[in-house]
């Protein structure tokens, strides 16, 4: 939609939100505003959501299970980490390493089985290496998040067997935002939360004409220690020894980006540069903080409208530099670095008989290093290249999809000049992945989908070469350079019904691994300097494990092994319209269940979310909106032998919104009350539940007030 220039008028704020109004208005009125004029809205605004991650052909009907969040829906669920923002989506939970670090877990699969992308490009960081390493992206700066579950994710690699999370922004504009006369538009966001005294702000500005577009954004978030429903001990200097706070959970994050594009008759070419900085407490250790920085550069373009066999080409190149330093009591410790390049080329071909689709190539190269006491993996380099194809066949009853991907992966260890136990070596792998999907239009309002995929994943550098103390997980980790490819067969089936505003979805899946890479306790203890291999563990007669020899400072040994495993589960969601007219009332329902078993031993696999149920009442009348929701997690007693179970809990959340369209501006005022009952809860997906029990519960009661102004 084209926009024309106009000014942001002075705004009348509801009394509830006046404490935050002036500072946002200062941001919003600093530039020219571009929007359509209009009276105060009489109905809630619903933004169209387009899931682009899983439909390279632009189809409105997806075969692969998917979810997308944008606009007010994303704003009201946004938290300080990506994992917590998506937690509660059917099939999606979180690794939760306190309020500052968490990665999404999809269908029980975590780490590098989940592919995190930025605008369809690779995200280079160290979040897959350790649970205390945050994803270098703040949800306050993201415009849309898309989640693709199941085998439809194979377009992005065999390591996406669990799914894909794509963070989408407009830092490289892909279409003209203005007409030939040009204009300026933007968005300002300001919020304050009581639970951790968080103050967050973001500003986005865009300008241009029908021939070019420029983008700039900046964000800042500052938070103290997070409130907890129970008194917790803390040894951090300057903090109370006992307080209803999660010790060492404060964070300070800021960043921004500039970008731009030029538009042609048949495409665009753009580039962007963004930076991210964060300093945060790791919560597992009271005096350890992480100082993170990430810089990324991207070039992207598309040419379309060709005649002949190739109808369009998309290309994206990205370069990333990531580094974080772990500080103990202010003293620099281990330094982790990861830098990389990624290139993706995708061509859409003309219809070949019943087939229409895309073919593409993708290459990635990363270099990793860790220096310091917690260097549990060596210097390494990973290079991978891939060829992929995706095809669709339309039919009167629905459509079929076919996909294939072949890869070449080389993982090399360069050792470490200061750590003798790391030896130079290299491994090469050739993973292949294949998928077949179908969508049937059964009758009016009913659809059935099914996906079958075979996926292969090359082991990561740390799975092959790890050999050292990993303090964040309180373990000594050991890899195995002889590992083979991880192989799995994946099946999901889903049914969907839609009638007007009423929607219901039900899906079931099973993933079967012939050689799943699992990190498990061996029963041995290891010295933190790597000595003492084979130190035994005995029982002192009172149920306590003690070392039978070796040095005093030891950690339990955890070793990677390849085992047969099965993941199976159910996902359900729906919306029921209870009232329609001047007032609209909907009931949203959701639930999921995952079971994960080591088939070799019959033991349950660790860190699996329990069965979960949720319901939310959504009300709207005129400019007002309200939400009242509850999420219940049952007790998780299906844990490996020797590990701690987690109790059940119910979290209640409330939100109130007020929307204003006044002159050129669209304002969304909101108040959100999280964990209304101040319930004490520990998530089963968090490693902290085992390594630091009781130390880091989910956040306690918190009120957040905010304003988002679009102009």
pLDDT tens digits for range 656-696: 999 998 778 899 999 999 999 999 999 999 989 988 899 99
Which of 73-77, 107-111, 112-116, 313-317 reaches the highest mean pLDDT?
313-317
What value does the mean pLDDT take over residues 646-655?
97
Q: Looking at the DSSP assignment, which residues form a beta bridge with residue 322?
A: 294, 338
pTM above 0.85, yes or no: yes
Q: What is the largest CA-CA distance in the chain?
A: 83
Residue range 274-305, pLDDT digits in tens: 999 999 999 999 999 999 999 999 999 999 98
What value does the mean pLDDT take over residues 172-187?
94
Question: Is residue 329, in this structure, part of any structural domain at all?
Answer: yes
Question: Is residue 192, in this structure, part of any structural domain at all?
Answer: no
Task: Quote the tokens at residue 496.
Answer: 């969907």
CB burial class (10 A; 0-12, 13-18, 19+) of residue 275?
Answer: middle
Residue 527 predicted with pLDDT over 90: no
DSSP state of 113: G
Residue 416 predicted with pLDDT over 70: yes
Could you tell me the end-to-end alpha-carbon distance of the chain, in angstroms, rounded to an integer?
A: 14
How far is Cα 328 from Cα 284, in angstroms, rounded to an integer?
A: 12
Phi-psi region of 141 (alpha: psi -120 to 50; beta: other; left: phi over 0): alpha
How far is Cα 519 from Cα 561, in angstroms, rounded to an integer?
A: 7
Residue 209 predicted with pLDDT over 90: yes
Residue 584 predicted with pLDDT over 80: yes
Residue 547 predicted with pLDDT over 50: no
- pLDDT attached to residue 8: 36
Question: Is residue 20, in this structure, part of any structural domain at all?
Answer: yes
Best CA proximity match to 523, nearest among 534, 507, 508, 510: 534
- pLDDT attached to residue 55: 72
- pLDDT attached to residue 150: 57
H or E element that contains 688: helix 688-691
Question: Is residue 184, in this structure, part of any structural domain at all?
Answer: no
Q: Looking at the DSSP assignment, which residues form a beta bridge with residue 503?
A: 498, 575
Residue 26 predicted with pLDDT over 60: no
- pLDDT attached to residue 52: 66
Confidence of residue 495 (pLDDT cuts 50, 70, 90): very high
Tell me the residue range of the domain where 603 lies: 5-177+197-710
- Ranges of beta strands (E only) in 50-133 are 66-70, 92-94, 104-106, 114-118, 121-122
Task: Quote the tokens at residue 412.
Answer: 């090399």
- pLDDT attached to residue 535: 43
- pLDDT attached to residue 122: 83
Number of domains comprising the chain: 1
H or E element that contains 349: strand 331-349
Question: Is residue 488, in this structure, part of any structural domain at all?
Answer: yes
Instruction: Give the per-residue SS3 of 363-417.
Output: EEEEEEEEECCCCCCCEEEEEEEEEEEEEEEEECCEEEEEEEEEEEEEEEEEECC
Confidence of residue 536 (pLDDT cuts 50, 70, 90): very low
Confidence of residue 10 (pLDDT cuts 50, 70, 90): very low
What percentage of the chain reaches a pLDDT higher than 70? 88
Task: Quote the tokens at residue 330.
Answer: 């202010």
Residue 569 predicted with pLDDT over 80: yes
Residue 537 predicted with pLDDT over 50: no
What value does the mean pLDDT take over residues 4-24?
39
Confidence of residue 19 (pLDDT cuts 50, 70, 90): very low
Residue range 220-257, pLDDT digits in tens: 999 999 999 999 999 999 999 999 999 999 999 999 99
- pLDDT attached to residue 56: 75
How far is Cα 326 from Cα 410, in angstroms, rounded to an integer?
A: 29
Question: Is residue 187, in this structure, part of any structural domain at all?
Answer: no
Q: What is the CATH number of the domain that holds 437?
A: 2.40.170.20
- Between 388 and 554, name the one with better pLDDT: 388
What value does the mean pLDDT take over residues 591-611?
95
8 A C-beta contact, residue 300 and residue 316: yes
3-state secondary structure of 311: strand
- pLDDT attached to residue 463: 95
In our burial notation (b when 16+ CB lie closer than 10 A, e otherwise), range 204-233 reads bbbbbeeebbbbbbbbbbebebbbbbeebe
Residues 6+ apart with CB under 8 A from 170: 143, 206, 215
Confidence of residue 151 (pLDDT cuts 50, 70, 90): low
- Give the chain's mean pLDDT: 87
Q: Which of 14-28, 83-97, 196-210, 461-475 has the lowest mean pLDDT?
A: 14-28
- Between 138 and 674, name the one with better pLDDT: 674
Q: Is the dihedral of CA 454, 458, 459, 461 positive or negative?
A: negative
Which residue has tokens 């092994």?
561
Question: Is residue 183, in this structure, part of any structural domain at all?
Answer: no
Confidence of residue 502 (pLDDT cuts 50, 70, 90): very high
In our burial notation (b when 16+ CB lie closer than 10 A, e otherwise), range 450-481 reads bbebbbbbbbbbbbbbbbbbbbbbbbbbbbbe
What value does the mean pLDDT take over residues 193-218?
96
The distance from CA 601 to its chain's CA centroid, rounded to whole angstroms, is: 31
Task: Quote the tokens at residue 7.
Answer: 């000014």
What value does the mean pLDDT take over residues 44-64?
62
Residue 426 predicted with pLDDT over 50: yes
Q: What ranges in 60-137 are assigned the alpha helix state H?
A: 71-77, 82-86
- pLDDT attached to residue 37: 31
DSSP state of 691: H
What percentage of the chain reaches a pLDDT higher than 90? 69
Question: Is residue 230, in this structure, part of any structural domain at all?
Answer: yes
């Amino acid at each position: 939609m084209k926009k024309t220039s106009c000014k942001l008028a002075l705004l009348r704020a509801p009394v509830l939100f006046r404490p935050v109004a002036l500072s946002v208005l200062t941001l919003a009125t600093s530039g020219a505003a571009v929007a359509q004029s209009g009276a105060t809205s009489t109905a809630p605004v619903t933004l169209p959501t387009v899931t682009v991650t899983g439909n390279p052909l632009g189809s409105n009907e997806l075969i692969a299970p998917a979810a997308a969040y944008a606009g007010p829906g994303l704003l009201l669920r946004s938290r300080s980490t990506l994992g917590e923002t998506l937690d509660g989506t059917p099939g999606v939970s979180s690794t939760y390493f306190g309020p500052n670090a968490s990665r999404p877990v999809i269908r029980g699969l975590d780490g590098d089985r989940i592919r995190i992308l930025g605008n369809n490009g690779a995200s280079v960081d160290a979040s897959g290496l350790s649970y205390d390493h945050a994803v270098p992206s703040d949800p306050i700066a993201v415009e849309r998040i898309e989640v693709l579950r199941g085998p439809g994710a194979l377009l992005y690699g065999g390591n996406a067997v669990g799914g894909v999370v794509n963070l989408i922004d407009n830092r490289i504009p892909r279409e003209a935002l203005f007409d030939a006369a040009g204009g300026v538009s933007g968005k300002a966001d300001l919020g304050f939360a009581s639970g951790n005294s968080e103050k967050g702000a973001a500003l986005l500005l865009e300008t241009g004409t029908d021939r070019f577009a420029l983008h700039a954004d900046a964000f800042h978030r500052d938070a103290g220690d997070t409130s907890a429903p129970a008194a917790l001990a803390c040894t951090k200097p300057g903090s109370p020894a006992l307080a209803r706070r999660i010790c060492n959970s404060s964070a300070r994050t800021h960043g921004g980006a500039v970008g731009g594009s030029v538009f042609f008759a048949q495409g665009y070419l753009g580039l962007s540069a963004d930076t991210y900085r964060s300093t945060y407490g790791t919560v597992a250790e009271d005096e350890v903080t992480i100082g993170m920085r990430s810089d990324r550069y991207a070039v992207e373009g598309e040419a379309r409208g060709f005649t002949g066999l190739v109808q369009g080409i998309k290309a994206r190149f990205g370069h990333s530099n990531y580094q974080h330093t772990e500080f103990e009591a202010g003293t620099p410790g281990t330094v982790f670095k990861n830098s990389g390049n990624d290139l993706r080329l995708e061509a859409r071909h003309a219809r070949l008989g019943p087939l229409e689709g895309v073919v593409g190539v993708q290459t990635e190269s990363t270099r990793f290093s860790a220096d310091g006491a917690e260097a549990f993996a060596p210097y390494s380099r990973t290079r991978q290249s891939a060829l992929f194809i995706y095809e669709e066949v339309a039919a009167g009853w629905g459509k079929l999809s076919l996909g294939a991907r072949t890869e070449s992966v080389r993982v090399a260890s360069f050792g470490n000049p200061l750590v003798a136990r790391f030896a130079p070596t290299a491994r090469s792998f050739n993973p292949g992945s294949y998928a077949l999907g179908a969508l049937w239009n059964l009758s009016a309002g009913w659809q059935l989908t099914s996906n079958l995929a075979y996926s292969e994943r090359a082991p990561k550098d740390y799975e092959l070469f790890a050999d050292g103390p990993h303090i964040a997980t309180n373990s000594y980790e050991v890899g195995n350079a002889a590992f083979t490819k991880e192989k799995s067969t994946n099946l999901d089936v889903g049914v969907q019904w839609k009638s007007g505003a009423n929607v219901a979805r039900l899906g079931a899946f099973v993933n079967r691994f012939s050689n799943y890479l699992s990190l498990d306790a061996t029963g041995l203890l290891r010295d933190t300097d790597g000595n003492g291999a084979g130190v035994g563990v005995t029982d002192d007669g009172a149920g306590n494990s003690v070392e039978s020899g070796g040095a005093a400072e030891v950690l339990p040994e955890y070793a990677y092994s390849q085992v047969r495993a099965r993941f199976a589960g159910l996902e359900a969601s729906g919306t029921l319209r209870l009232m329609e007219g001047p007032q609209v009332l909907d009931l949203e329902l959701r639930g999921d269940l995952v079971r994960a078993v080591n088939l070799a031993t019959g033991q349950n696999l660790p860190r699996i979310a329990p069965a979960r149920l949720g319901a939310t009442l959504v009300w709207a009348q005129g400019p007002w909106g309200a939400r009242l929701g509850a999420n219940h997690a049952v007790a998780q007693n299906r844990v490996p032998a020797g590990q701690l179970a987690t109790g059940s809990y119910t979290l209640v959340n409330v939100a109130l919104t007020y929307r204003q369209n006044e002159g050129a501006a669209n304002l969304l005022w909101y108040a959100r009350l999280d964990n209304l009952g101040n319930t004490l809860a520990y998530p089963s997906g968090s490693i902290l539940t085992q390594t630091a029990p009781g130390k880091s519960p989910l956040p306690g009661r918190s009120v957040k007030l905010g304003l988002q102004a679009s102009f």
